[in-house]
Structure 1
Amino acid sequence: MEPATSAIRPVLAASTAVFHEGRVLLARRGKAPSLGLWTLPGGRVEPGETLADAAAREVREEVGVDCAVLGVAGALDIIQHDAAGALAAHFVVVSHAARWIVGEPATGPEAAEVGWFEPDALPAETTPGLQGIVDAAVLVVQAMEGPDAM
């Protein structure tokens, strides 16, 4: 007999570190997974959608901002277990760096709070690995737009 976790498969998702005036846009999760934690806007990649298109779409849907995706900043496995220790979810999140184009960040069902933060002064309550992804995204922006871009 196969273990109960065999039905759980990794889910591909995309997130985006959107930069504007040297700050990065974060959203505090308004629902599970990671309820209450600050993170990058993001979500599942739809069939037939590129990672970059998914990244930009999720930013638009979650926080109402349009952005130009510059490149991939990194990837993280988000593996969650239930109270009994059984595997509950596995997300593979490919994170991108982007430049803000237009729009004022707004809250919604998935983003209970939004804000612009200095890349080296993120809030304490973030999703695991967020600082490393933001640091990598800064390097992508600088590589694409020059060392003074930030």
Structure 2
Amino acid sequence: MSQTPLLGAIAVVIHDGNVLLAKRKKQPDAGMWGFPGGHVEWGETALAAAARELHEETGVQADPVDYLTNYDLLRTDDRGQVTTHFLLVGVACTFVKGTPIAADDVSDAQWFPIEEVRANTLPMSARVIDLMELALTRL
């Protein structure tokens, strides 16, 4: 892997008291629930990437509204050396249409009640609850 951080965009969609989560197929966080998202392509804004990745992974269409925050995701090996470095951009999106269907890099995609996510009973990626709460204050 190159020693340049990778830029990713994640779509936070909240609709009718539910939040859309996807179960990752690949690392980082394979098997964990998190927000749909992926790499930002050259010449693409993180807002556009979040909407594109959301649709590619779940079939759901949403309009990107605003940047929420950024997270550095650094993984290290047993010697403490950084093996992966992602800068993840959280994007608040408003639901347009679609029923979640797992595609692309996810094995499942579902709406979850906000209270269920807050209860932290699902195997979730780090900061899912924090990012959901931030989106709730902005949408």
State the shift of 1:108 in Å.
2.0
Q: How does 1:66-145 map to 2 (within 5 A)?
A: 66-122=61-117, 123-141=121-139
Give 1:58's aligned amino acid.
Answer: E
Q: Could you tell me the percent identity over the aligned residues?
A: 32
Give 2:97's aligned amino acid.
Answer: V
After superposing the two structures, state which structure 1 stretch, 81-90 or 27-36, moved more. Answer: 81-90
In structure 2, stretches of 5+ residues that fail to align are none
SS of the aligned residue for 1:97 comes to strand
State the shift of 1:120 in Å.
3.5
Aligned partners of 1:74 and 1:95 also within 8 Å: yes
TM-score by length of 2: 0.90
State the shift of 1:83 in Å.
4.2
**Aligned counterpart for 1:25 among listed residues 20, 42, 45:** 20
Aligned partners of 2:56 and 2:104 also within 8 Å: no
Question: How far apart, in 2, do the equivalents of 1:59 and 1:111 lie?
Answer: 11
Question: How far apart, in 2, do the equivalents of 1:99 and 1:112 lie?
Answer: 23
Question: How far apart, in 1, do the equivalents of 2:104 and 2:65 lie?
Answer: 27
SS of the aligned residue for 1:60 comes to helix
Deviations 1:32-70 (A, max 9, x none): 111001000001111111111011001011111110111
In structure 1, stretches of 5+ residues that fail to align are 142-150
Q: Which has the larger radius of gyration?
A: 1
SS of the aligned residue for 1:16 comes to strand
Question: How far apart, in 2, do the equivalents of 1:16 and 1:119 lie?
Answer: 16
Question: How far apart, in 1, do the equivalents of 2:96 and 2:4 lie?
Answer: 35
1:10 is the counterpart of 2:5:
yes
Give 2:4's aligned amino acid.
Answer: R
SS of the aligned residue for 2:116 comes to coil
1:54 is the counterpart of 2:49:
yes
Aligned partners of 2:11 and 2:51 also within 8 Å: yes
RMSD: 1.6
Deviations 1:77-136 (A, max 9, x none): 111123443211010001011111111111124111111112242143111111111100
Give 2:111's aligned amino acid.
Answer: W
Which contiguous aligned blocks of 4+ residues in structure 1 show a shift greater than 6 angstroms?
Answer: none
